[in-house]
Structure formats: structure tokens, C-alpha cells
Chain A
Amino acid sequence: MAQELAAAGAFASIPELLARNVKEFGDRPAYREKEFGIWQSWTWAQAAEEIQNLALGMLALGIERGDHVAIIGRNRPALYWGMVAAQRAGAVPVPLYQDAVTEEMEYVLENCGARFVICGDQEQVDKVIEVQEKIHHIEHVIYYDKRGLRKYDHSHLHWYHDIQEEGRVAHARLEDEMAVREAELNYDSTCVMLYTSGTTGRPKGVVLSNRNIIESAKNSSEFDNLGLNEDVLAYLPMAWVGDFIFSLGQAMWSGFCVNCPESADTLMSDLREIGPTYYFAPPRVFETQLTNVMIRMEDSGDLKYALFHHFMDFAKKGAGEKYGMPRRKVTTEKKTLEQKVRHGFRYAMGIGFAVETLVENAIRLGFTKLRHPVQTRKYFKAKDPIGLKLYRGKLQEYFKYRCGDVLVYGPLKDTLGFGRIRVGYTAGEAIGPEIFEFYRSMGINLKQLYGQTEATVFITVQPDGEVRNDTVGVPAPGVEIRLAENGEIFYRSPGTFVEYYNNPESTADTKDAEGWVATGDAGFFDKTNGHLRIIDRAKDVGKMADGRMFAPKYVENKLKFYPDILEAVVFGNDRNMCTAFINIDLTAVGNWAERNNVAYASYQELAGHPDVLSTIQEHVETVNKSVAEDEMLSGCQIHRFLILHKELDADDGEMTRTRKVRRKVVEEKYAPLIDALYSGKSEQFIDTEVTYEDGRKGSIKATLDIRDAVVVGDKQGMAAE
């Protein structure tokens, strides 16, 4: 295994790791890309040769030490090689977001002062040529996909393969120069420069050293036992630090294979064909896939529908966590006879029970159909096979899970392309508990991590077996975490970035002399298991009148996980208790109303319906219970709430265009309602001005009910009431 080959420090740069990979497992696949309908693959030795030729070719073009090489395009092996080639030539790769518009690209290209640009195709070349009209330091543009570029002026434009050919020819002449430059790379020289996405202000170039990348890759690979046999699908933007670590850092360290999809449109089928063992996706991807599964299940036959729900319900009750998780380590050792027999028996039992389940339920379904020909689905519930009753307790559960694996979980995982996943990560934002549960109960080891570019991804990670949907895990290996007075998270790690490029002020603002980096997020450690919880951006976290922490977003997110609740606004800063405005989701609640014969004429009427209020009250009380479990945040329980008579809307200035609530505006506009919430009234009249989409103004008048919610063990709140 790669990890045992050498201690960190022995390899001071990515090119050195590459050389080791070629030596140790040169004929194993390093890169695959689907092209012309076939997965083309390159072994480590082949990839190293491609990289060498490209690096020599760039040397022939006159690349200098420390030059920045911008890399723009979709994930393709050739572009990953471009990054390593740049490093071998003593330059620094700067991957950019390929979907950036020209102006954004112009800023970044100007900021990094790149002399070389490697583009994927014509689209990117066009953008670079447009940028060149304004900034003049770009000297050479190298492109990979020839298509449509034949007629372009080729005085400074080069085809990737031509450059490689030149490198091949110039081999003898430039080899020594390359060896010198490569030898100069050390643990502290720059490995890569990555730009932050720039949601707040201009993007900043984060300089990461070889130490950052290699240590992070090493630590995280060991943490998850990544080895030679992993397969990853490289589909996330190359400019993102995560992709750099997964597809380059960890791949180089562990020696596993990086697979690139054919195009963005074929991603899902490519995912299925490859069946990655190590996978990363933002919560949105998991959410979309779950929705698709649910829609397709609605359209499936009665038997399938019933079996799906029967086994998913079972798995969600903890059986998935207990029996479904993949083995931690993929072993290449041969199985012993005993293991073979045991595995064989296990699968045989699973298949046997699966057949029995199918037969018995099909017969029962037949009878149900005779009795209820129209509403079969409503009356038919799947049952366990009779044979399973022979077993008791744990064994019964175990066999039932195996049976479900054959019938439901296995095929479903295969369809989604998750059939072989050993480790899956999600990060970036909070993932809904239902979604998280769904994937985990199927036996997908989905975990959460918390990180940022400045930390070379990893700040905290969830270890196997300690996964929860509301935490982001324990500090990653080698990471120290400190919490400030206001809850802001500071970290220090081997992955901590060197500096922001050409921006000492921002560097000083973010990183102090001792190496502690401010994340800008507030959080706290869970007392029971030592996991970190992120609650909000640090600047949004306030204090209540008695000094307890007030983190509105934390509670609002919990509320918004209910499909009935579209939006929630929690108040309580400098007050003695928390209250909330709630917006119902018209689609979800409207659907509920239809099924329960509740008639309504408008949003306002539905929002004021007593049954809706009661449902929401249940949600609020459940949330209170879970908030109360955290000692630090127990003050944020919602004592009183009301359901707003109109949706918060960007046209009325209550939200930003990206659908974030403008707290200040809401507070001013609905001041009478807030007063009523805190004065103990049970209803309040309000007259609200609204702006219609064509710009006309109107007003909505309503009297809103205010409800009290049960809170758990909060003495302060009791006293206030």
C-alpha cells in the first residue's frame, strides 16, 4: 500500500510522488476518460510520459520558474497532466472555473499574471482571446480539443499534442534543465494557487505549498484507508480545492485511478459505469437523486412500490447503520475457505429470503387486487417472508437486511451508481436529515466534512461509525481547533495556506502570526461526542438579554428541513426569549389540504387554518426538543410563533434575489407582529403593503393567531411567560 511506502517528507512534491507511482505501480491505471463511447485508460507510466513531454514542450516555449499557468476546462486527464507538467517545469498551476464569464476570468488572469494558459476547447480559447485584448501578459495559449480552432491565428496558439511533440524532440536538450528545476521543488515551494469563489467581494488567490497538499492528502487518505484500488469520478470544477485534493493530491498519494466523464450530460450514466468507491457531492446532488427515485417509485408497479417502502422503513430504523455499512478496508488478500463459506451462506440466505418474499407478496397482492381492484396500492402492504420467523432477534434483523439488499438496496444503489461506494462525502451546506438517512440506511457510507480552501479542504471530518446528520465531525488528523468567545472557529493545521497572492492585508486579517486561521463561521463542540457543530456565520450570531448565545440560522435551518415550512425567521437578539415567523410551503401544505379535504381559497386562508397551525406547532415543538439537547443553544427554543399571511418576497424587499431573508427589513415591516409576539397577545391585526409583479402596490389585511409552543427545561423562558 502506498501509505506504507514512505513517511511524509520523503516526497516533497507532486512530481516526486508521480515518479514513485511510476516506479511502484507503473502499469496500474492512473487515469481513465470516456471518449468515443469507450473508457480509455492510461497507466501511471503512460501518464508520466505524457506529462514529461508536455513539460518539456512548455520549457521549449520558454516557461520560467514561478510562472503561473492558468488551466481552464472541464475535467480531463490532459488538464490534470497540464497541472503536473507545469510543476515539473518549475511553474505554478492555477486552475480556473470553466463556467466563469469573460469579465471574471479577466480579473483572475490579470491578478495571477499568467504567461501560459492551457484551455480545454474552443469555448475557453475564445474567452482567453477576448481577455487578451485588455491584458497583454498572456504569451502562449495551449488547447486540447482541436475542433473549430483550425482557422485561428496560431502564432501564439498551440495544440496540446504539438507541444508534446516538440517536447519529445527537444528531450535531450531540455532534460537536464527540467531535472534541475524539479530538484529545486521542496516542501515549502508553491504547489498550486486556487482562487476562492468570491461570494463576498473579489476572488482571492490562495497559495498552497507542497506541504499543505501532501500532508492533507496523506492524512485524509490514512483517515479513510484510501488505497490503490479506489476509483473516483472527477466531475467537480477543477478550480475547486476539493477536486484538486481528491483528483490530484490523494490520487497521487494513494495511487488510485481518476475517472473523467465523457461530458457533463453523460455524468449520471458514466457514474453508473464506473461505480466509484470514493465519492464527493454537494447536498444538492443527493437531494435531486432522492427526488428522482421517489418520483420513479410513485410510477412503479404495486409490488415494487410496497416492497420499496417496506424495506426502506426497516432500514431507516437503524438496521442500515448496523448491517449495511461497507467494510472499512478493501483487502486484496485472498479469502480463506471459512470466509468463502460464510459469505456464500450469507448471500444464499439473502437470495433465498428474497425469492420467498417475492412469491409470498405477489400472492398476497393478487388477493388484495381481487378485493380492492382500484385502490390496491393503498390497501396492500408488503410483509416479511414467513421463513424469517424461524429466526429471532438480531439474526432475524440481519437476514431481513440481507434480503432487502437483494431486493431493494442493492439494485437501487446500482441504479444510482453508488454500488461500490466505500466512502462518500458531502459538504458545503447543511444536508436534510431525511436525505442523509435515506442514503445511509441503504448502506452508503455517506459522511460530512467541514473545510475550506484556506485549510486545503479538511478542518473536521466524521470518522466511520460516528456519523450524525447535524454535526460535521471531529478535527481532521493534524488539525487544531480553537473557539473564540463569540463561537467563531479558528484552526491551525499542516494544510493551512501560505498566503493570499499579492494581498498581505487579507492574509494578515485571516491568519495570525501563530498560524491560526479565522473561518468566519461560528460553532461549538457537542459535549457528548466531541463533534463540531456549525451554527451560522460568526457575524450573524448574537446574544440574548441574559447573555446566552443566539444563533437564528441554526434554528431556522432545522425548521426548514420540514417540507411544510418554506421559510422561517427567528427573533431573539437582546430579548429574553425567542419567537418566530413562519412561511408555509404552498405546494406541500396545499397537497396536504387536498388529501385531507381542506378547502381553501388563498394562501392567506390556508396559512390561517387551525389544522395547519397545529401541524406547524408540532414541528416547532420537535425542533425545540432537539435544540434543547445543546446546552449552549437551549436558549434559542421558540416560545411563540405565528404563520405569516403572505410569502416573504424579493419584490417587497424582504428577501435578496438569492432568497436570503433580510432580517432588518422584516423586523421593521412587521414590527406590530413582533410586539404582539413579545407582549403575550393571542392575535394581532396587520395591514401589509405588497408590490405586485407589475410594480403596482396593494395591501393585505389580516388578523393572525399567535401560538405558544412547548419548550423544554428553559427556566428563563418560563419566567418570562
Chain B
Amino acid sequence: MSLDTNADSYVTADGRTIGPVVMDLKNITLRFGGVVAIKDISFDIREGEIRAIIGPNGAGKSSMLNVISGFYKPQEGEVWFRGAKRPPMKPFQVARQGLARTFQNIALFDGMTVLDNIMTGRLNHMTSNMFQQAVWKGKAEREELANREVCEKVIDFLEIQHIRKTPVGRLPYGLKKRVELARALAAEPSLLLLDEPMAGMNVEEKEDMSRFILDMNDEFGTTIALIEHDMGVVMDLSDRVVVMDYGKKIGDGTPEEVRNNQDVIDAYLGVAHD
């Protein structure tokens, strides 16, 4: 690709506009006691792009995502979000800034219906207090209606109308993943973090999921950062890829560049230690 990915904003081959940097991670180091999970990593995520983070097991990908979502606090380094340095925050505060995520191991409320689960994604958009909720008429009702409308659009978008009223516990794995994505999407995030969205899926489900991710990016202009093991998926979907190995960044660039990077090839195929 001959695209100048360093320009302030550029248009990709398939006609999407990639804007300026949204999230900038500068020299992040994360330690758990003596274990260094992330070692001095810097990379950025730009408006409207699909950014993949890949790497072998234990490379620190999920830790990286947890740093972005505010769950882990890095010992060193800075997180810049929308041009401002982010002070240490609780995850819910980060979520209010417009970040949403899905989890590697599904974290839904099993006893609740799909619709209710997705409605929880709207929690940050609710402003009515407990008393207004109890009285119901007025603000609480209006808010509920508006939130429900957003949820229904997401349901329609992800084609899960037929399970709207089904308790999540009864659903198969592939659908649960989709419900989780729906919940994240219902929060109307400006940056969406997906932790292994295709893990454990069959080819058909992967195809569906890929289509949803692309459509999501296309339709709502959501910026997406995803961790994925399926190389085919990563290379097809993402605009830029970060490769991590043992907590270090070993590659960063377009899928093309990353594929030809000797360090990346070594990390994935292994090298003879001599």
C-alpha cells in the first residue's frame, strides 16, 4: 500500500476517511510485582480506523487493553485521549468518556434477557435519579424510551431480533458474543475495544462477526481496537496492526508491512536459539 499513513488524515482504499489520533499511548510500562507485562510501549489509535493488536500467548495484549480501558494503571507512561492527558481514572469514568469494550470470556448477566443486557450498556446515558425512576412518569419514562430505541437499532443492526426476549444463559456461545458486542455498541462509544471477538467461533460465525465489525465501523464511524488470533481476520479487517511479544512492541504498521517484518515472522514461527 502506498498510503501515507502518517498524514493528518487520509482515505483508505475502500473509501473510509481516517482522521487524526484519538488515543495516544506513550511509553507505557506495566508491572505486576517483579513481572513486567508491558515494557515501554507506544502506539496510537486514529479516528475511524480498525486497529488490531496481535501477538503470541502472554504477549501482554489483554493487559494493554486493560490499560486503555483504565482497569490497570501503568507504572510509567502516559495515556492521551482526544488531545488531553488522561489522569488516573476508574473504569466507569473511562467508560463515560466514550469507551466501551467486550471481554475475552463473556461477561454478561446470564439470568437477564438479551434486551435487558443490552440496556445495561445504556447506563452511562441515564441521568434520572432513583426517585424519578420510582415515580416513573416523566423523565424516567422518556429516558427509557429513548434508550430502548437505541438498543433496538443495535438489535436490528446485529440481527438478533429473534432472541430479544431470551435469557442470555440459554444462548449458544456465538450468539452470546454477539450480544456482548451489542451491549458495547449500545453505549454508543467513540472507541470500541474488542478482546478476541472471534475466539471459539466457527467459520460462518467468524464471517458474520467480521461483517458486523466492518459495518459498525462504516455505519457509525466507530473507532475499533481489537485483539485477535485469527491472522486471516486481522489482515483482512484492520487498517494498522501492532504486534507485541513478551511485553514489547516488535512491529507496527499496515498489515502488509507487518506481514513482511522479520521480527514478527520470528515471533510467530519461532527462531533457533543459539
Interface residues of A (CB under 8 A from B): 35-38, 147-148, 150-151, 262-263, 265-266, 269
- Which of B15, B156, B157 has the most CB atoms of chain A within a 10 A radius of its CB? B156
Contacts of A35 in B (CB 8 A): 156
- The smallest beta-carbon distance between A240 and chain B, in angstroms, is 23
Contacts of B8 in A (CB 8 A): none
Contact, CB under 8 Å: A151 / B219: no
- The smallest beta-carbon distance between A459 and chain B, in angstroms, is 36
Known: A37-B115, A37-B161, A148-B211; 10 extra A-B contacts, CB below 8 A, are: A36-B149, A37-B152, A37-B155, A147-B157, A147-B215, A147-B219, A148-B219, A151-B14, A151-B218, A269-B162
Contact, CB under 8 Å: A265 / B215: no
Given contacts A37-B152, A151-B14, A151-B218, whether A265 and B161 have CB atoms under 8 Å apart is: yes
Contact, CB under 8 Å: B215 / A36: no
A–B complex contacts, Cβ < 8 Å, 17 sampled: A36-B149, A36-B153, A36-B155, A37-B115, A37-B155, A147-B157, A147-B215, A147-B219, A148-B215, A148-B218, A151-B16, A151-B218, A262-B161, A263-B161, A263-B162, A265-B162, A266-B162
Contacts of A37 in B (CB 8 A): 115, 148, 152, 155, 161, 164
Residue interface bits B204-221, CB-to-A below 8 A is 1, else 0: 000000010001001100
Given contacts A150-B219, A265-B162, A266-B162, whether A36 and B152 have CB atoms under 8 Å apart is: yes
- The smallest beta-carbon distance between B264 and chain A, in angstroms, is 30
Contact, CB under 8 Å: B162 / A36: no
Within 8 A of A (CB), among B59-114: none
- B230 is an interface residue with CB less than 8 A from chain A: no
A269 nearest CB neighbor, chain B only: B162
Nearest 5 pairs of A and B residues by beta carbon: A265-B162, A36-B152, A266-B162, A37-B152, A262-B161
- The smallest beta-carbon distance between B19 and chain A, in angstroms, is 17
CA distance A151 to B115 in the complex (A): 31
B154 nearest CB neighbor, chain A only: A36
CA distance A266 to B166 in the complex (A): 12
CA distance A147 to B215 in the complex (A): 8
CA distance A266 to B148 in the complex (A): 19
Contacts of A266 in B (CB 8 A): 161-162
Contact, CB under 8 Å: B161 / A151: no
Would you call the interface of chain B mostly helix, strand, loop, or mixed?
Answer: helix
Residue interface bits B112-131, CB-to-A below 8 A is 1, else 0: 00010000000000000000
Contact, CB under 8 Å: A150 / B153: no
CA distance A577 to B117 in the complex (A): 68
Contacts of B219 in A (CB 8 A): 147-148, 150
- Which of B149, B161, B218 has the most CB atoms of chain A within a 10 A radius of its CB? B161
CA distance A338 to B250 in the complex (A): 88
CA distance A35 to B218 in the complex (A): 22
- The smallest beta-carbon distance between A215 and chain B, in angstroms, is 39
Contact, CB under 8 Å: B152 / A151: no
Would you call the interface of chain A mostly helix, strand, loop, or mixed?
Answer: loop
- B159 is an interface residue with CB less than 8 A from chain A: yes
- The smallest beta-carbon distance between B105 and chain A, in angstroms, is 27
Contacts of B153 in A (CB 8 A): 36
CA distance A262 to B156 in the complex (A): 9
A152 nearest CB neighbor, chain B only: B15
- The smallest beta-carbon distance between A431 and chain B, in angstroms, is 27
B211 nearest CB neighbor, chain A only: A148
Contacts of A38 in B (CB 8 A): 152
Contacts of B152 in A (CB 8 A): 36-38
CA distance A147 to B159 in the complex (A): 12
- The smallest beta-carbon distance between B169 and chain A, in angstroms, is 19
CA distance A38 to B161 in the complex (A): 11
B159 nearest CB neighbor, chain A only: A263
CA distance A148 to B155 in the complex (A): 16
B218 nearest CB neighbor, chain A only: A150
Contacts of B15 in A (CB 8 A): 151
B215 nearest CB neighbor, chain A only: A148
Residue interface bits B128-155, CB-to-A below 8 A is 1, else 0: 0000000000000000000011001101
Contacts of A262 in B (CB 8 A): 161
Contacts of A151 in B (CB 8 A): 14-16, 218
- Which of A36, A38, A147 has the most CB atoms of chain B within a 10 A radius of its CB? A36
- Which of B15, B148, B159, B162 has the most CB atoms of chain A within a 10 A radius of its CB? B162
Contacts of B16 in A (CB 8 A): 151
CA distance A148 to B164 in the complex (A): 23
- The smallest beta-carbon distance between A270 and chain B, in angstroms, is 9
CA distance A502 to B130 in the complex (A): 71
- The smallest beta-carbon distance between B79 and chain A, in angstroms, is 32
B162 nearest CB neighbor, chain A only: A265
CA distance A336 to B218 in the complex (A): 61
- The smallest beta-carbon distance between A440 and chain B, in angstroms, is 30
- The smallest beta-carbon distance between B98 and chain A, in angstroms, is 22
Contacts of A36 in B (CB 8 A): 149, 152-153, 155-156
Contacts of B115 in A (CB 8 A): 37
CA distance A35 to B152 in the complex (A): 9
CA distance A237 to B223 in the complex (A): 39
Contacts of A148 in B (CB 8 A): 211, 215, 218-219
CA distance A381 to B91 in the complex (A): 61
A262 nearest CB neighbor, chain B only: B161
CA distance A148 to B14 in the complex (A): 12
B214 nearest CB neighbor, chain A only: A148
CA distance A35 to B115 in the complex (A): 15
Contacts of A263 in B (CB 8 A): 159, 161-162
CA distance A269 to B115 in the complex (A): 16
Within 8 A of A (CB), among B1-52: 14-16
Contacts of A150 in B (CB 8 A): 218-219
CA distance A38 to B115 in the complex (A): 14
A145 nearest CB neighbor, chain B only: B156
CA distance A95 to B15 in the complex (A): 33
B219 nearest CB neighbor, chain A only: A147
CA distance A72 to B211 in the complex (A): 22
- The smallest beta-carbon distance between B202 and chain A, in angstroms, is 18
A263 nearest CB neighbor, chain B only: B161
CA distance A618 to B153 in the complex (A): 59
- The smallest beta-carbon distance between B122 and chain A, in angstroms, is 15
- The smallest beta-carbon distance between A279 and chain B, in angstroms, is 20
- The smallest beta-carbon distance between B63 and chain A, in angstroms, is 34
